[in-house]
Amino acid sequence: MNYEYKDGIIKYRQSESTGVSLLMTEGNHRLILNNTGVEILDYLPHYTNTNDVLKRMIKDYPLVDENVLKFDMDEILRIFEIYSVIEIKDTHIECNDNLEEYVIAGDTSYKKISEFIIRSIRSNAIKYYQETDELFYSPFNMRLRIMDNREYGVYVAVNNDIKAYLSVVCPPIGTSAVLIIGSLFFKEGLSQEEMLVFLPNMINRIARVINTYRKIFKIRIALIDERYPEIILDMFRRINFEHECTLKSETLLGDAQFYTYFLKDLIEQ
C-alpha cells in the first residue's frame, strides 16, 4: 500500500529502555512504542510504500519469518494511521457484488468509520447522535472509548462501501444489563426500507458480541423532543422498540422519551 508520512506530527520524542514515548501535535496524545515499533517509525520517512518497508525489515531481520514481520508491520501501521503519523493512500478491497457485511469496529476501520460519520453529519443523511463536536468521532477518540470498553460500534458495508454505523454505550460490568444507543448514522440517499434492514441487523450483531462476556437484556434509546426527525422514532417503533417512559422537561430542548427493546429473543435466535 502507498502511504504518506506526516512530517511534524510528532511534537516530542523521548527514548526509554524499552522503546520511545511520543507526544503528538494533534490533541497532545501520547504513544509508547517498543523497539520494533521505533524501527518501523524510523523507516517510514524513507519510503512511500509498505512493501518497501517490509523489504527493509526482512533485510534487517533475516532470521525472522517474513509472515511474522508483516504481521508486526501491519499492526503498528494501523496504530500510526489512527495517530495520524501516516495516511494510507489506497485501501480499497475488491468485493463480490452486493456482498453485505456487518463488521465490529476495530483498528483496521476507525479511520474509514470516522470519515463516514463526518460526511453523514455534514449532509442531509438520517442520523441520531448526541455529541456535536466532530473531534469526538476522530479515529483516536473512537479507539480510546472502545479500548476502554466504554463503547462498541458496528457498521454495515456493501461492496466495501459503508452504509450505516451504530454505536452503543456500555455501563460498567455488574452495574446494568442495558445497552444505550450512542449514535446511529446512515449514508445519505438510503431508502427507509434499506435502513429498516440494516438497523436490526446491526443491533443483533453488536448484541451477540457483547453478550459473550456480559449479560444484557435490553437496548435503549433516548429521544429528545424536536431534535430528531420523526423517521428515527418511526424506525425504532417498527422494529419493536417500546415506549418505556417520558421525562418531562428533562433537557433544555424538551422532554426525553425512552424507547427500549428486549434483546433475549433476538440474541438466542
165-213 pLDDT, tens digit each: 999 998 776 778 889 999 999 999 999 999 999 999 999 999 888 888 7
C-alpha to C-alpha distance for 105 and 155, rounded to whole angstroms: 7
User: What pLDDT was estimated at residue 42?
Assistant: 93
Inform me whether the pLDDT recorded for 245 exceeds 70. yes
| DSSP strands (E only) in 112-224 | 127-129, 151-158, 161-169, 178-186, 218-224
pLDDT band at residue 136 under the 50/70/90 scheme: very high
User: What pLDDT was estimated at residue 96?
Assistant: 45
Query: Bigger pLDDT: 223 or 250?
Result: 223
pLDDT band at residue 27 under the 50/70/90 scheme: low
- 5-32 average pLDDT score: 83
User: What pLDDT was estimated at residue 164?
Assistant: 97
User: What pLDDT was estimated at residue 126?
Assistant: 94
3-class SS at 213?
Answer: coil
- 208-227 average pLDDT score: 82
| Average pLDDT value for the chain | 86
Asked if residue 165 lies in contact with residue 178, where contact means CB atoms within 8 angstroms, the answer is no
Inform me whether the pLDDT recorded for 23 exceeds 60. yes
Segment among 63-67, 133-137, 146-150 with least mean pLDDT: 146-150
- Residue 34, C-beta contacts closer than 8 angstroms, at least 6 positions apart: 18, 19
